[in-house]
Structure 1
Amino acid sequence: MKITLKHSLPILVFILFAQGCKKKENPISVANNKLSLVGIAGTWKLVYGEIRENDSIELKDLSQADFIKILNNDHFAFINQPKNGDEGFYAGAGTYELDGNAYTEILEYIDYEEIRGHRFPFQIEIKGDTLIQSGVEDVPEAGIKRYIVEKYLRIE
């Protein structure tokens, strides 16, 4: 039996249609409203940062610095890089735990000794390509008690 273009075109269309109907893997894996480690792994750029402390609200000035957070399956790192010069550069890293939307950072590498080893519990949510992290940073020995909201866009 000879297969011609006339006969193979419907077969090709069917194959392409069937491929399009396959369930695609979503890189942001959410099951029963619980995020997975795969869903948050990646590189995220801070696009909004809010700190509420006492009666004041401070917004992070993102016109002067770039702030990214990198997450793999069990570690995180963050970097604040000034756009001009080196004044204001800081970074930190550690491990994290994820249980549903409860995300806890254990800060292990930072130049501020009073918060080294501290556990920071947050709630996270992913909406499309945006990760929203919020919670209270409470470190009495460092005099820190503030509520933060951070919004990140996935860049990698």
Structure 2
Amino acid sequence: MNYKQLPVIITAIAALCGCQSKELSSPIVGTWELVSATTTEKDTSFSTFDPTHKMIKIINADHFSFLNHKLRPGKDSASNEFTGGGGKYTLADSVYTEHLDYFTDKQWEGNTFKFVVNIANDTLTQKGVEKLEKLGIDRVIVEKYKRVKD
């Protein structure tokens, strides 16, 4: 073995391990299933959780995605409701910021949404404001997710 190459090899291995450990060490990384959702608009709060649908959020080291579909399919594809979206995110302390690059409704794309997140055991709670002036949307949402286990 050429010992002159050893520092380069060690640096490369350390860099690879650092990338993997970043993803594994962040408690937000994983697959999460929505278990409750509440929206508040103009001092009125109401549940937006629909038990006839299933929604998961998948978060890796720098991207998120969410998929939502009707549990019991309808007779035709038009009645099989599905929404999905995703993009990049940042996490600084408890401030989780989604940059929505993709969404079923194109009018939402290109927007940024800030949430405060809390993870306790296998529950992720996120609370934040969804504000889109062009669509007349200005609301606070609170979503709770349970970690999906293998």
Where on the TM-score scale, by shorter chain, does this alignment land: which range? Answer: 0.7 to 0.9
Instruction: Provide the TM-score with structure 2 as the length reference.
Output: 0.75
Equivalence for 1:10: none
More divergent stretch after superposition (71-80 vs 82-91): 82-91
Gap runs ≥5 in structure 1: 1-35
Q: CA RMSD in A?
A: 1.6
More divergent stretch after superposition (55-64 vs 88-97): 55-64
Task: Calculate percent identity across the aligned residue pairs.
Answer: 39
Equivalence for 2:16: none
Q: Is residue 127 of structure 2 the alignment partner of residue 139 of structure 1?
A: no
Task: Check whether the contact 1:44–1:69 (CA below 8 A) recurs between aligned residues.
Answer: yes
Return structure 1 stretches of 4+ with deviation > 4 angstroms: none
Equivalence for 1:15: none
Spell out the pairing of 1:3-152 with structure 2 (5 A cutoff): 38-85=26-73, 86-152=79-145
Equivalence for 1:6: none
Measure the CA separation in 1 of the matches of 2:104 and 2:28: 26
Aligned residues: 121
Bigger proportion of residues as helix: 2
Instruction: Provide the TM-score with structure 1 as the length reference.
Output: 0.73
Q: Which has the larger radius of gyration?
A: 1
Gap runs ≥5 in structure 2: 1-23, 74-78
From the superposition, tell whether residues 83 and 125 of structure 1 become closer, same or farther in structure 2 (CA, over 3 Å). same
Task: Check whether the contact 2:37–2:142 (CA below 8 A) recurs between aligned residues.
Answer: yes
